[in-house]
Amino acid sequence: MRLEWRVGDPGDPAVLAEEFLTEHGALRGDPICGASVLISAAASAVMIGGPKGAPTPAPAVPDMALVVYEHAGMQNPDHERGEWVLGPWRPSWTPSQHEAAVRRVHEAITRGDVYQVNVVGHASAEYEGDPMRALHRLTRLAGAKHAGVLGGDGWAVACASPETLLEVRGGRAITRPIKGTAPATPEGRIALLSSPKERAEHVMIVDLMRNDLAHVAVTGSVRVPQLFAVRKWSDLWQAESEVAAVLRSGVGFADLLRAVCPGGSVTGAPKLAALAEIERLEPVGRGPAMGAFGWIGPDHLNLGLTIRTAAVDEHRVHLWAGGGIVIDSDPAAEVSEAAAKAAPVKRALAGWR
């Protein structure tokens, strides 16, 4: 059973998702295998009444896709055959345009409009052959806690995300925001741990996620069990915290989505004001990136944030990368950070014959 929704279609995607998953047993604990969930950045913004951003460069990919599986329907197809030829990557903006966007965020912070804005760039490449082997290779990147491929007619999305947007089990909700990046070297680890800029940027997003979970939590139950822990993803160090809460009775799936989507670490603070800046700054939409991807089982929910994510349509591969901008962010350094995040994804997708 499958539901696909795109921006412009009728209905609230959060409500439609809850109704569909309830109807097909995924939220009732029926003896099914579970359900895959993909939610775009634009659909996430629609859920909270925020600006949707620029049009997606991959309109074949739905803004929300839900697939409910029965045990008998699960397969393990062979993805080890077929030629894959990838053309040159073409960015949607130049490094100088990216730097200009960072400076515009500085201006917005100085005006008092925002405290932080996540700025994301896009690149695409033409391809020939079957993309599935390359997409599955992407999911095997080291540190990809939320890894998988979901596809439909003329599209597929592969995720290798290290970041937990929302985990729910036994009435307890957890989000693990990631903010702060450095090369995965001993020197990079020391630099990340000792950087006032990276820690300040990180704590802003932790505070935002605490506030997000408070909308669905028992009063006084929101906690931060771990703050600014350094984890490794591929060849990068990333700073991660854990924010946890006890959910109020009666909180539904739509309530959870509206509480955490879109993720604070890929928007900024305050969230709605940051989304307005993103819409003004980014010339290309985020598509399935910077949204949510994951699994709903009979007794749990686990959604990753769709960073380190690639999408394919019938002709091109798309990827997105960026970073959070605060008042002391260096424009050139932000361009380099985005390139460092995209590099392992590009390597995983490299072609062969």
pLDDT for the residue numbered 338: 97
Q: What is the pLDDT of residue 74?
A: 45
Taking the CB of residue 10, how many other CB atoms lie within 10 A of it?
A: 6
Q: Assess contact for 100 and 79: CB atoms under 8 A.
A: no
| Tens-digit pLDDT profile for residues 259-269 | 999 999 999 99
Catalytic residues: 163, 179
Q: How far apart are CA 198 and CA 209, in angstroms?
A: 17
Tokens of 120: 């994301």
Q: What is the pLDDT of residue 228?
A: 97
What are the C-alpha distances in Å from 47 to residues 209, 210, 214, 253?
17, 19, 17, 12
How far from 12 is each of 83, 166, 236, CA to CA, in Å? Answer: 41, 20, 37
Tokens representing residue 320 in the block? 């997105």
Domains of the chain: 2-71+91-348 (3.60.120.10)
Nearest-angstrom CA–CA distance, 271 and 291: 14
pLDDT at 163: 97
Give the separation between CA 27 and CA 219, rounded to whole angstroms.
25
- Give the DSSP letter of residue 297: E
Six token digits for residue 236: 């990068």
Sign of CA dihedral 211, 62, 309, 90: negative
What's the pLDDT score for residue 32? 59
Rounded Cα–Cα distance for residues 290 and 34 (Å)? 23
Burial of 89 (0-12, 13-18, 19+ CB in 10 A): middle
Q: Looking at beta carbons, which pairs linking 194-200 to residues 24 or more positions away fall under 8 Å? A: 197/326, 197/328, 197/329, 198/239, 199/228, 199/239, 200/326
Q: DSSP readout, 207-219? A: HHHHHHHHTTBPT
Is 261 strand, coil or helix?
coil
Given this model, what pLDDT does residue 27 score? 78
Angstrom distance (rounded) from CA 97 to CA 277: 15
pLDDT at 148: 97
Taking 70 as the pLDDT cut, the residues of the chain under it are 28-32, 71-81, 353
3-state helix, strand, coil in the chain (%, to 5): 30, 35, 35
**pLDDT for the residue numbered 73:** 46
For 324, the token pair is 């959070």
Nearest 10 degrees: Cα torsion 305, 308, 314, 315: 150
